[in-house]
Amino acid sequence: MSATTAEPRGYALVTGASSGIGVDLARELARKGHPLLLVARRRERLEALAEELKKAHGVDVAVLAQDLAAPGAAVALLDAVRAGGWSVEVLVNNAGHGMQGRFLDMDIAAVEGMFQLNVTALTHLTQLFAREMVARGHGYILNVASAAAFLPSPYVAAYAATKAYVHSFSEALRYELRDTGVSLTTLYPGITATEFNAVAHAKTPPAMNLSILSAEEVARVGVRAMFARRRALVPGLINKLNALFCALLPRGLVVRMAGLLLARANGW
């Protein structure tokens, strides 16, 4: 079945919807008239956002409070969606978190939890919901990676590796989904004005300040790219240039520069 460009009005499931880019992705989808399924751990934040979106846009919004880093979370979420009778036509895999510092100093349990959320949950949710979309012959998937996906970055080594996985997995799966009516778009945000860096205990190089975008802007262009069925999008001119330089310059040089800048920013 050939793909169409018409935007659906089925439910849009957004993970990581309680903060950061996820909140604004939900707002952008509601603004376009899509009913929503909001997923994250913090129910009170989800319920506050749900009330906001219902009042502002008149769309149906359901809250599914769940820790996607828990084993079996993807299947549990699919079961909850089926129990609610919701048909998901838009899947936004936004949930994720980062860790910054010397890898040898990190708590391995925390690192494993990050991999469970950033990699395992995203992979399993994509498979489960893409199967149903393909069966219906229509759907959109947006996987949120990071500009870190293009560069093995010292001091965010494990986090960058999770996003490199999202990059490789998403681009390959997009090809497998060709001619199914289901498209997969990958979003690669750079530094964004959210609470993400605070959670990751991250300080960024001053040279990167000019590249910072608002979560609202990232969400707007990301949703637009998804519904245009674009392969990928790196928001912001400076971030696009950084991605280009990472591809063109010798890898060893780029890694060394990234390491020096992050070490200096954090006083290491």
**Is residue 123 one of the residues assigned to a domain?**
yes
CATH number of the domain that 153 lies in? 3.40.50.720
Query: pLDDT higher for 97 or 267?
Result: 97
Domain of residue 231: give its range. Answer: 11-266
**Is residue 72 one of the residues assigned to a domain?**
yes
**Is residue 113 one of the residues assigned to a domain?**
yes
In this predicted structure, what is the pLDDT of residue 204?
Answer: 62
**Is residue 141 one of the residues assigned to a domain?**
yes
**Is residue 161 one of the residues assigned to a domain?**
yes
Residue 207 has pLDDT above 60, yes or no: no
Residue 121 has pLDDT above 60, yes or no: yes
Provide the strand spans (E) within the chain: 11-15, 36-40, 61-65, 88-93, 139-144, 182-187, 192-193, 213-214, 232-233
Q: List Cβ neighbours of 224 (8 Å cut-off, separation of 6 or more).
A: none
**Is residue 230 one of the residues assigned to a domain?**
yes
Reported as a pLDDT band with limits 50, 70 and 90, residue 5 is very low
In this predicted structure, what is the pLDDT of residue 245?
Answer: 80
Q: What is the pLDDT of residues 161-183, one digit of tens each?
A: 999 999 999 999 999 999 999 99
Active site residue 165: no
In this predicted structure, what is the pLDDT of residue 200?
Answer: 45
Question: What's the domain count of the chain?
Answer: 1
Residue 1 has pLDDT above 50, yes or no: no
Task: Give me the catalytic one of 11, 140, 155, 159.
Answer: 159
Q: What is the pLDDT of residues 223-266, one digit of tens each?
A: 999 999 999 999 988 888 888 888 888 888 888 888 887 888 87
**DSSP 3-state of 126:** helix
In this predicted structure, what is the pLDDT of residue 209?
Answer: 55
Reported as a pLDDT band with limits 50, 70 and 90, residue 49 is very high
**Is residue 200 one of the residues assigned to a domain?**
yes
**Is residue 6 one of the residues assigned to a domain?**
no
Work out the mean pLDDT of the chain and round it to a whole number. Answer: 90
CB-CB contact of 125 with 91 (8 Å): yes
Rounded Cα distance, 256 and 171, in Å = 27
Residue 18 has pLDDT above 90, yes or no: yes
In this predicted structure, what is the pLDDT of residue 27?
Answer: 98
